[in-house]
Amino acid sequence: MEYGLIGEKLGHSYSAEIHPLLGYNYELKELKPEEVEPFLKKRDFKGINVTIPYKQVVMKYLDEIDDKALEIGAVNTICNRDGKLCGYNTDFVGMKALIKRTGVSLNGKRVLIAGSGGTSKTAAAVAKSLGAASVYRLSRSEKEGCITYKQAENMGADFFINTTPCGMYPNVLSESMDINLLKDLKGMVDAVYNPLKTVSVKKALKRGLPAEGGLYMLVVQAVAAAEKFLDKKISQDETERIYNIILKSKEEKSL
């Protein structure tokens, strides 16, 4: 493998359609938990992306970790530089671009983030960087500083971010939580991109709220990863071109 994606289940992924548009071959490689360490130690790749559930697991096998990824506590991009594995977090720029796309300012807002994994940590860092007054991560149990979904119902949240796999193909009817319970909501984003609009996104749009599925985040983080892989700058125009190609393709398939 030269370039590719590792994760436990990748049947939902669009990455193998996005990255070739950036000029290189890209493979999907599903790994069981016990296969992650030998794969990384073999170092038989130039660059890879990392998805659920390995964004935190991979960190202990890397030689260098970018300051932002270290601060967040999650890596989704790894470059093999002459045998040295270097980790980055390009999800940060992807999530930031996705939130800004809604047009909702997080400055002074109360933000709820569904999930306790690597992407939720990234989303929390993004929300804080955008001036959120308070940020709460949600889990079924109170772990890693998270609150429960039941507690979140009465928080008066302004903005909701789903970073769980809930709603992802093939379980398209599932939700991390019913966002209709969040009466003060002013907008939301969902890291899930397959389907283009999850149940949560559809509910928000029905209420007239700004809401975005995760496809734009996926494309932006992929372009940022490609910049690391290829050591070159890629224009915003190219990012928009690729996004529109993938969006059109997926919209046509859903008809």
Contact yes or no for 96/116 (Cβ under 8 A): no
User: What is the phi-psi region of residue 6: left when phi exceeds 0, alpha when psi lies from -120 to 50, beta otherwise?
Assistant: beta
Contact yes or no for 149/36 (Cβ under 8 A): no
Residue 36 has pLDDT above 90, yes or no: yes
Q: How much of the chain is helix, strand and coil, in % rounded to 5? A: 40, 20, 40
Task: Kindly tell me the burial class for residue 247, based on how many C-beta atoms sit within 10 Å of its own C-beta (0-12, 13-18, 19 or more).
Answer: middle
pLDDT at 91: 97
The mean pLDDT of the chain is: 96
Residue 201 has pLDDT above 90, yes or no: yes
Task: Give residue for tokens 């991979």.
Answer: 58
Task: Kindly tell me the burial class for residue 111, based on how many C-beta atoms sit within 10 Å of its own C-beta (0-12, 13-18, 19 or more).
Answer: buried
- Predicted TM-score (pTM) of this structure: 0.94
Q: Rounded to whole angstroms, how far apart are CA atoms 196 and 169?
A: 10
pLDDT one-digit tens code per residue, 85-137: 999 999 999 999 999 999 999 999 999 999 998 999 999 999 999 999 999 99
Kindly indicate the confidence band of residue 255, based on its pLDDT and cuts at 50, 70 and 90: low
What are the structural domains of the chain? 3-89+216-254 (3.40.50.10860), 92-213 (3.40.50.720)
Q: Rounded to whole angstroms, how far apart are CA atoms 179 and 214?
A: 17
pLDDT one-digit tens code per residue, 48-77: 999 999 999 999 999 999 999 999 999 999
To 10 degrees, what angle do helices 91-102 and 215-230 make?
140
- The set of catalytic residues is 55
